[in-house]
Amino acid sequence: MIRIFDAEKVPESEIFSRREPVRDVSGAVSEIIEKVRREGDAALKYYSEKFDGVSLERFEVTPDEIENARESVGSDFLRILERAAANIRRFHEKQLRTGFEIRDEAGIVLGQKITPVDRAGLYVPGGTAAYPSTVLMDAIPAKIAGVGETVMVTPPSKNGGVNRFILAAASVAGVDRIFKVGGAQAIAALAYGTESVPRVDKIVGPGNAFVAEAKRQVYGQVSIDMIAGPSEILVIADKNSDPVCVAADLLSQAEHDRNASAVLVTDSRELALAVRDEIERQIEKLERKEIARASIDDNGKIIVAKDIPSAVAISDRIAPEHLELCLDDPFSWLGRVKHAGSVFLGRNCPEALGDYMAGPNHTLPTGGSARFASPLSVDDFVKKTQFIYYPEDAASAAADDVAAFARCEGLTGHAQSALTRKKR
């Protein structure tokens, strides 16, 4: 049963504590990465047999497999995918950056240009749950950014196939190549390349502890989006909120993962008690009730705050991945929120809308990293290059200042480089 805390009576350590997974997989992941670096496709074949229980002669998904998947999911679901994709495109197109130039009277030109990465790797989970929504959320911003090639990896099933909904979503999103590889070995393949899987410049997408650790270890060889942890939701709700809806929203995240975190912060003890009872009623109806039960019992919390401003302050301390403001005038509170991955405004906007249809990205910072990190966006698939031009007179005029700076740092070669441009 979910625990209820009184914010005024219990230690902060109880309110703000996080239960983190304790399993250390760094050694195992390091071995997997090294084997893939050395052996390429042979290592991928070995790990597919070991972890996925399937022997693959070919890793890349064929056009026929994609077409069969589209036919299998049916036209109705394809239309849903297309509607979601259109919403995601509309939102992310607003994120496109342009470069700039600064020119002055002396003829100096300064600027910045924006260039997409050549190739992006998209990791899509395929274990206890398959997420076609993640395909759309990862691939569409990359396409909008102008990435040259998108390469998707996802674990194979025991029959050597790939989840049909994932393949259909990849088709809708315009993914260029798809490979039947999962886990840390897939991240290693994207980072270093194999005979089949091309090396990429950036890897994005969530995964289990092995995937997260692999991304951590290959960072620097390639760029990554973030180290994603278990899913989180925090709901701020007042006494006018419907406990049925609040409980359903908390459970929507609890069913993701045993380590997921579902938190309600409210100024109403009556709502807290009603939500606790409603969670117990609804949890029995979930197909993934065992997972949800572990999440609610181990990580779930209801925090009773003295008022809504205090509730917002508590939320900012937690910095949740998803924040719902189930309040009468949510827009008046939005400006007070500093730390959250994505904010859902009002009583009719469940987090699930953001997962699938609304358009803003659902790959979000977790584990409190919303204090300094941002959702996946078009920015993740571009890089910025600066440029500088000084004409002869401007370089000569700046030479003494540059040389003084250089000598201050003990770099006389820098000073000489500038002074050679000084008119004599």
Q: In the prediction, which pLDDT does 127 show? A: 61
Q: In the prediction, which pLDDT does 13 show? A: 75
| Closest among 146, 163, 165, 145 to 154, alpha carbons compared | 163
Q: Is the pLDDT of residue 187 over 80?
A: yes
Catalytic residue among 92, 322, 339, 362: 322
Q: In the prediction, which pLDDT does 304 show? A: 97
Mark whether 282 and 413 lie in a shared domain.
no
Q: In the prediction, which pLDDT does 415 show? A: 97
Q: Is the pLDDT of residue 3 over 80?
A: yes
Report if residue 151 sits inside a domain.
yes
Q: What percent of the chain has pLDDT over 70?
A: 98
Mark whether 180 and 314 lie in a shared domain.
no
Mark whether 241 and 355 lie in a shared domain.
yes
Mark whether 177 and 242 lie in a shared domain.
no
Q: Is the pLDDT of residue 9 over 90?
A: no
Mark whether 219 and 234 lie in a shared domain.
no
Mark whether 250 and 325 lie in a shared domain.
yes
pTM over the 0.75 mark? yes
pLDDT tier for residue 17 given thresholds of 50, 70 and 90: confident
Report if residue 385 sits inside a domain.
no
Tens-place pLDDT, residues 196-228: 999 999 999 999 899 999 999 999 999 999 998
| Closest among 379, 374, 422, 420 to 398, alpha carbons compared | 422
Cα R_g (the chain), whole angstroms? 25
Tens-place pLDDT, residues 298-356: 999 999 999 999 999 999 999 999 999 999 999 999 999 999 999 999 999 999 999 99
Mark whether 339 and 272 lie in a shared domain.
yes
Mark whether 189 and 241 lie in a shared domain.
no
Report if residue 18 sits inside a domain.
no
Report if residue 384 sits inside a domain.
no
Q: Where are the beta strands (DSSP E) in 247-405?
A: 261-266, 301-304, 322-326, 342-345, 382-389
Report if residue 306 sits inside a domain.
yes
Mark whether 302 and 284 lie in a shared domain.
yes
Task: Say if CB 278 and CB 243 are below 8 A apart.
Answer: yes
Catalytic residue among 213, 232, 255, 321: 321
Q: Where are the beta strands (DSSP E) in 232-275?
A: 232-237, 261-266
Task: Say if CB 122 and CB 204 are below 8 A apart.
Answer: yes
Dist CA 306 CA 130 (whole Å): 40
What is the domain-level CATH number for residue 105? 3.40.50.1980
Adjacent-strand bridge partners of 114:
384
What is the rounded average pLDDT of the residues 179-188?
Answer: 97
Is 322 tagged catalytic?
Answer: yes
Tens-place pLDDT, residues 236-280: 999 999 999 999 999 999 999 999 999 999 999 999 999 999 999
Mark whether 155 and 240 lie in a shared domain.
no
Mark whether 97 and 203 lie in a shared domain.
yes
Domain count, the chain: 3
Tens-place pLDDT, residues 81-108: 999 999 999 999 999 999 999 999 999 9
Cα dist. 281→268, 275, 293, 302, 322 in Å?
A: 20, 10, 12, 16, 23
Domain of 345, in residue numbers: 229-371
